[in-house]
Amino acid sequence: MGATIKTAARAFYYAPLLVLGGAGYLTVFDASQLQALALLLVKINNQIANMAVVFLGVSTFFQGYLIVKSTFLPRFLGVVAMVSGLSWLVYLYPALGSVLFYYLIVLAMLNVLLTSGWLLVRGVDEQRWLEMAQGA
């Protein structure tokens, strides 16, 4: 859901290039009107992107929850993912999210690097995976 919303937001991100591109059909507007429209489109992009980040947070939180409940990966990876996911929910109040953005990025990168690093170096616990598969 978040990826779909973010993709829709990108249309508003690139639209100002069309508005300010000097197309002939836009000559009915003066320069200040075109600039105002371009700024409006950028602001719409920011609002939609904030909504997408909330979905990312929910998704990351539940991914962390599943890691904590599973026996294939260490629980600390799940806890880090849950904290990272909850931290993105500050974008429910976008002004606070904008202020805390750099801290949120640090948490998100910590989550991604730890999980990716663990999967690349150690992988999942194959023995437990097979035991669970045979038990099912």
- Cβ atoms of residues 68 and 76 within 8 Å: no
Q: Which two tokens stand for residue 35?
A: 């600039």
pLDDT at site 136: 67
- Cβ atoms of residues 2 and 52 within 8 Å: yes
pLDDT tens over the chain, length 136 residues = 888 888 888 888 888 888 888 888 888 889 999 999 999 999 999 888 888 888 999 999 999 999 999 878 899 999 999 999 999 888 888 888 889 989 999 999 999 999 999 999 988 878 887 887 787 6
**Nearest CA to 2 among 51, 45, 65?**
51
pLDDT at site 51: 86
**Nearest CA to 128 among 77, 66, 74?**
74
How far apart are the C-alpha atoms of 47 and 3, rounded to whole Å?
15
For the purposes of burial, counting CB atoms within 10 Å of the CB of 37, is it exposed (0-12), middle (13-18) or buried (19 or more)?
A: middle
pLDDT at site 92: 87
